[in-house]
Amino acid sequence: MAETQQITEEQIKVFEQMTEEYNKIALDTSRFTVEEAKQALKGVYEAGGLTFPENNFHVVDSINALFKKYKEITGLDNLSGSDLNLGSLDAHWLKYHVFYRDVLKHEGLEKLQLLEPMLKVGWFLMCDDLCIVSQKPVYIGLSGTRLHAENRKALEFADGKGIYAWKGVLLKEKTHGWIITNPEKITVDDIMKENNAEIRRVMLERFGFDRFFEEADSKLLDDDPKHGKLYEIAFPDDEPIKLLNDEPIKLLKVINSTAEPDGTFKEYILPVPEDMQTSLQARAWTFDCDPKEFEFEVET
């Protein structure tokens, strides 16, 4: 069994410097030429003991275009994101191996030099007889370490394709992209009909928590420092708010006990059955737990 190597303070500082350098590599949005991509990926093929497919190599503008090109060439529709290598975004794990090789002087990492050039390109598909590589995004928006943009795609490619995201929550363009591009269109009804708690929280942040409870004509039923605030809400016609299954509900406002990377705490609005009388009862219900058992678990 190999001995554990003690890392020195100086080596830790070197690793921290490497982290900054490799983070910059991961977030780099510069374009590359076809020839640069070929040279970068030939080493990856060599490291895997494969022959680079010179005559079936393609560079496209986005991940979407990569999927489209694959289907166009093969006639298959079986490609998934897990089949792709991340290119420059693999910098986060490659730095560890470089650190082991260059700083800790570990052996057995000779082929690493063949992989390092892949950080110059974007996502790529590596097959025996086919290689397709995507250009890097032209824009990467972050909040701390999470994908985020307030009025555009958080990850966007040259062809306009990309991903909407709010503080790390990914939003599908067709169904929820409008939450980012047109937040003024969000209504109380939209928020209440959204079943996904994370997306509902995004809508609430865009809409405003205080505004939501004001426009929803809320009545505070219970305010528990540990378990949240329980509200009864009705629309102007005095009809209770209902879920998609047409069951009347109340709302529990809770704050996540675990801080986010930026030090903030997420607030959530959770729908609970209409017969909930206390915040504790409602919170326990969200965990499918008896209130007494739930409170005991929280206290211990």
In terms of pLDDT, which residue wins out, 240 or 6?
A: 6
In terms of pLDDT, which residue wins out, 174 or 238?
A: 174
For the chain, the domain total comes to: 3
Shared domain for 13 and 117, answered yes or no, is: yes
Shared domain for 112 and 66, answered yes or no, is: yes
Shared domain for 89 and 155, answered yes or no, is: no
pLDDT above 90 (res 183): yes
Is 4 part of any domain? no
pLDDT above 80 (res 241): no
Shared domain for 97 and 121, answered yes or no, is: yes
Average pLDDT for 193-203:
87
Shared domain for 215 and 128, answered yes or no, is: no
Least trusted range by pLDDT, from 100-109, 231-240, 257-266:
231-240
Among residues 150, 182, 214, which one ends one of the domains? 182
Among residues 124, 151, 182, which one ends one of the domains? 182
Quick one: pLDDT band at residue 99, thresholds 50, 70, 90?
A: very high
Shared domain for 165 and 258, answered yes or no, is: no
Least trusted range by pLDDT, from 44-48, 94-98, 252-256:
252-256
Average pLDDT for 48-59:
96
Is 1 part of any domain? no
Secondary structure (3-state) at 5: coil
Shared domain for 148 and 168, answered yes or no, is: yes
Is 82 part of any domain? yes
Is 13 part of any domain? yes
How far, in Å, CA of 47 to CA of 36, rounded? 18
> Does residue 164 contact residue 153 with C-beta atoms inside 8 Å?
yes
Total H helices, total E strands in the chain: 12, 13
What residue type is 204 in one-letter code?
A: L
Q: How many residues does the chain have?
A: 300
State the Cα torsion 289-295-297-300 to the nearest 10°.
Answer: 180
Shared domain for 80 and 93, answered yes or no, is: yes
Is 284 part of any domain? yes
Is 211 part of any domain? yes
Is 2 part of any domain? no
- Mean pLDDT of the chain, nearest integer: 89
Shared domain for 53 and 97, answered yes or no, is: yes
Shared domain for 100 and 177, answered yes or no, is: no
Range of the domain at 146: 142-182
Quick one: pLDDT band at residue 297, thresholds 50, 70, 90?
A: low
Least trusted range by pLDDT, from 90-104, 197-211, 222-236:
222-236
Token code pair at residue 276: 């909930």
How far, in Å, CA of 31 to CA of 138, rounded? 8
For residue 44, give the H/E element and its range.
helix 34-47
How far, in Å, CA of 154 to CA of 142, rounded? 7
- Report the share of the chain in percent with pLDDT over 70: 92
Is 204 part of any domain? yes
Among residues 136, 163, 196, which one ends one of the domains? 136
Shared domain for 204 and 273, answered yes or no, is: yes
pLDDT above 90 (res 269): no
pLDDT above 50 (res 244): no
How far, in Å, CA of 294 to CA of 226, rounded? 12
Shared domain for 256 and 155, answered yes or no, is: no
What are the distances in angstroms from CA 160 to CA 1, 61, 64? 52, 9, 10
- Report the share of the chain in percent with pLDDT over 90: 65
